[in-house]
Structure 1
């Protein structure tokens, strides 16, 4: 009786157990053959997802080194494809004229640009073909402001100070003013000051042209142009406002010199011609006597 009960149970155990072991062995073998590569979601994103999305801006120094790293820490990956603004690097003119200026290192996972140009800014993408993942960078040149060291204007006249920016895309700039007699503080913002107008510069920098319609003597001081983004480098110029009659005094001085010189010449000529006339009269008198 016990044998009849145990035999079906043993057969049931064998039927369920053997396929289960075989399935687990095949699963382990498959895992060993093609190990899963888990990429950090903050590092890569799926290909085709949010194609207009880019990470925080990455700033580089113009004429400095620009390097983008697409390798995944702890993984050996191959098959990288790089592009700029949707165009493969080999077809981007500014990167290949007259010769290729970029290098692909570490099996193509690192893009390196030495002495990067101002026009090397843009949206760079790295595509992992086999994994179907990509990484993107919003690359921008670090903005560096440039101003002439000194600016001069005559009182009552108009002056326009142009702030030049190196590093594209050009950010908006802000202006600060510091009185010539003040030695403390960072300066006063010129935003909203009715006496000043902020215009786009000739190069297209937003707010890059500071316009003062009628300069006053009190407008003398230090003017600073500061890029509003990218941890930029500011520049400053010292404005000097000259007296409106300052240009008249040299002219009057020249006129006075001319008048004095003319007077000296007239006096000299008058004294020189008088003896000649006296000699002429004496000669005439002698001739009449003879």
Structure 2
């Protein structure tokens, strides 16, 4: 047995003996237990040089070493006591903050590892890689500013539209000035023709000669100049290769130099003519569900009405249901439990708020439930008739062959031996 192990076994006995000796030799009042224990322990260790020479780990024993389970748990939940632990776990960009491993300001965490973040215009795979710049996202595999922000010196800055002049309600003709938009001849709107090269919106000013500035709005939002939207002259807005989504309400806002607080505006509604498409004929089976889909184009979204003959169809009428189709309300007519009386012409009428109207008609044919069986029965009847004809023909042909066979055998029978004998007998 080693010396240190022997001393550890004898130390409790030596300590208890020392305490008992001091209590018997001293007549002073007893001090509180905590103080007595501390003082006694110090005196005892000083009294035994063998114990005082022991190292701290020999006194505490193996119980003072950290548990491997505790260390693994600390690594799992991200707790730490030094930066080195975090670097070993999550990489060089990790540090220990408030006893927890965190990624640095220019890094992001992915799969438990701290990776460097990207700056604007650098390649990326996800938006979390672009955290170096506020309001940056990963677009087309490149870190760029989010919608509504612009890149200014590698900083995403909020795009603030230019302030619009105060709109003061006025009459159409103020101080001899008249503003006239280039509406269509038949109404106060402008028609957008799809697949055309451009759409021109213009507000003409007539009257007193004054200086003015013009701002264009789309649905009450300022329109910035770009490749498709160009402002010229300056009261003319040109839209290159217009699309269906360009149909909206545009506004030209005029500010006059003779009155800094006065401005005028005129709205120009832009619409796409309505168009409707419906099959020329539709087939249905009695007792089944029938759906007629009316394909509708146009902006703003038009309204749809259905007619059966000359009667308007309402959704609350029993078996009829008007449903939404391709984001157009009532564009699909559904008939539950189709009946024979549902046969006839159905018309889909489409119109918009500018009195632009068109329609399409389909002819509905309702078949009997057993309609699919009749062709099969017809085929069976044809096969039966054909078989009967073949049988009759074969019987007639066999009969004819037998008759011809009998006719061919008569001369031969005359030359038989029996016939000769009959002749000889007759001579006798």
TM-score bucket of the superposed structures, by smaller chain: 0.5 to 0.7
| Cα distance change of structure 1 residues 233 and 148 upon mapping to structure 2, 3 Å threshold | farther
Residue 136 of structure 1 deviates from its aligned partner by 3.7
Q: What CA deviation, in whole Å up to 9, does each residue of 1:243-288 have, x standing for no partner?
A: 3044332222122122333444555667778969xx9xxxxxxxxx
Tell me how many residue pairs correspond in the alignment.
220
Match 1:41 to one of 157, 170, 174: 170
Report the Cα distance in structure 1 between the residues aligned to 2:281 and 2:313, rounded to whole angstroms.
20
| Cα distance change of structure 1 residues 194 and 67 upon mapping to structure 2, 3 Å threshold | farther
Residue 90 of structure 1 deviates from its aligned partner by 3.2
* Residue ranges of structure 1 left out of the alignment (5+ in a row): 1-38, 45-55, 179-185, 280-290
Choose 1 or 2 for highest CA Rg. 2
Match 1:193 to one of 296, 317, 332: 317
Match 2:366 to one of 242, 245, 261: 242
Residue 239 of structure 1 deviates from its aligned partner by 2.8
Is 1:69 the equivalent of 2:194? no
- Tell me the TM-score normalised to structure 1 length: 0.58
Match 1:260 to one of 365, 375, 385: 385
- Give the aligned partner of residue 80 of structure 1: 214
| Cα distance change of structure 1 residues 129 and 273 upon mapping to structure 2, 3 Å threshold | farther
What SS does the aligned partner of 1:143 have? Answer: strand
What SS does the aligned partner of 1:255 have? Answer: helix
- Tell me the TM-score normalised to structure 2 length: 0.41
Is 1:164 the equivalent of 2:164? no
Residue 158 of structure 1 deviates from its aligned partner by 1.8
**Residue 57 of structure 1 contacts residue 140 of structure 1 at CA under 8 Å; is this kept in 2?**
no
What SS does the aligned partner of 1:156 have? Answer: coil
**Residue 192 of structure 2 contacts residue 247 of structure 2 at CA under 8 Å; is this kept in 1?**
no
Q: What CA deviation, in whole Å up to 9, does each residue of 1:101-139 have, x standing for no partner?
A: x7756x221335698542221232324366573444443
**Residue 172 of structure 1 contacts residue 227 of structure 1 at CA under 8 Å; is this kept in 2?**
yes
Match 2:332 to one of 179, 190, 209: 209
**Residue 348 of structure 2 contacts residue 360 of structure 2 at CA under 8 Å; is this kept in 1?**
yes
Is 1:139 the equivalent of 2:270? yes
Poorly superposed stretches of 4+, deviation over 6 Å: 269-276
- Give the aligned partner of residue 237 of structure 2: 111
Q: Which has the higher contact order (CA 8 A, sep 6+)?
A: 1
Report the Cα distance in structure 2 between the residues aligned to 1:251 and 1:87, rounded to whole angstroms.
69
**Residue 159 of structure 1 contacts residue 213 of structure 1 at CA under 8 Å; is this kept in 2?**
yes
| Cα distance change of structure 1 residues 69 and 259 upon mapping to structure 2, 3 Å threshold | same
